[in-house]
Every structure is written in structure tokens, then in C-alpha cells.
Amino acid sequence: DISPLLKDPAAFRTLIDLLEDHLRASFPKIDFIAGLDSRGFLIGPPLAQRLGIGFVLIRKKGKLPGPTESVSYALEYGKAELEIQSDAVEPGQKVVIVDDLLATGGTMCAACELMKRLKAEVLECLVIIELKLLKGSEKLKSIPFYSLLQYD
């Protein structure tokens, strides 16, 4: 639950500071931050603004206008679909995907698949909290992954 971070402006600023410092130290060039629906939308835009880059939306099916790419993925309790606008990124552009939490990894893997379909380069998947017991980061295979906090 990231609600306490969102309620405290100093804590939220510190969160964005930490994520910004990590990305600046890790990647000399990033074209876009891509945020996952919906809590990635809270972290991604201020982070993108700090880095002086754009932000793109990865949303649940049916929420984006215009042509989209979509991918289905399994949840613990069923199936879901994610979409991105077909022109959100250009082939070869460098993207960092952000969300609040990594649990089983299904949603993050689906987001990576969308970026692959658009021929973007995923530099890293970035989350605030990782639930290590669920081993979601293992599903990301060769895609770099970073979590600020880890819980067993």
C-alpha cells in the first residue's frame, strides 16, 4: 500500500528523488517512462518530468483512444489485457516501465511484451515494492529489474 507515501509530500518527494537518482546513475539516455495502470500513473509522470522526458500510458483494455496493441496475460484469479497506443513509442526508443508493486510478475511481463511488439528497448522494470516470495522478477528473465523495497 503506497497510500501513506502519497499522503506525505516530503515522503513522496523523497521517493521520486531516490528513483530519479537510481535512473540517472544507471542510464545515460532514456526516452520515455511507461507507467502501468493505475498506480504507475502516480509515480511515472513526476519521475519523467524530473528527467526531462515523456511519459506513456499502459492501460487496461478499452481505455485508450486510437489504434492500440494489446496483450492478454494470466492473473492469480483469471485473465486480463493491457494496451498501449500503437504510436506511443518508436522502434529503438529506450523505455523504463514503472509500477508500484511487483508480485507474481504477470502484469509487468505483459507490459514488456507490449514494448517488444512496438520494438522499443526496455532498459529496466522499476517498482517501489517487490514481494520476493512470489518470485515475479524471475519471470522477467533477461530484463533488468529494480525495486526500492523488498519483502519476503
Paired sense of beta strands 145-151 and 121-131, if any? parallel
**Who's near 30: CB < 8 A, 6+ residues apart?**
23, 51, 53, 94, 95, 96, 123
Amino acid in the structure at residue 98 = V
**Per annotation, catalytic residue among 13, 69, 76, 90:** 76
CATH number for the domain that contains residue 137: 3.40.50.2020
pTM of the model: 0.96
Q: The domain containing residue 134 runs over which residues?
A: 2-150
List the one residue out of 110, 112, 150, 111 whose CA is nearest residue 134. 150
- Cα separation, 63 vs 98, whole angstroms: 19
**Per annotation, catalytic residue among 39, 50, 113, 121:** 39
Into how many domains does the chain fold?
Answer: 1
- pLDDT tens per residue across all 152 residues of the chain: 899 999 999 999 999 999 999 999 999 999 999 999 999 999 999 999 999 999 999 999 999 999 999 999 988 778 999 999 999 999 999 999 999 999 999 999 999 999 999 999 999 999 999 999 999 999 999 999 999 999 99
CA geometry: angle 87, 88, 94, nearest 5 deg: 120
Peptide bond into 38 cis (omega under 30): yes
Q: Look up 59 and say whether it is catalytic.
A: no
Q: Look up 39 and say whether it is catalytic.
A: yes
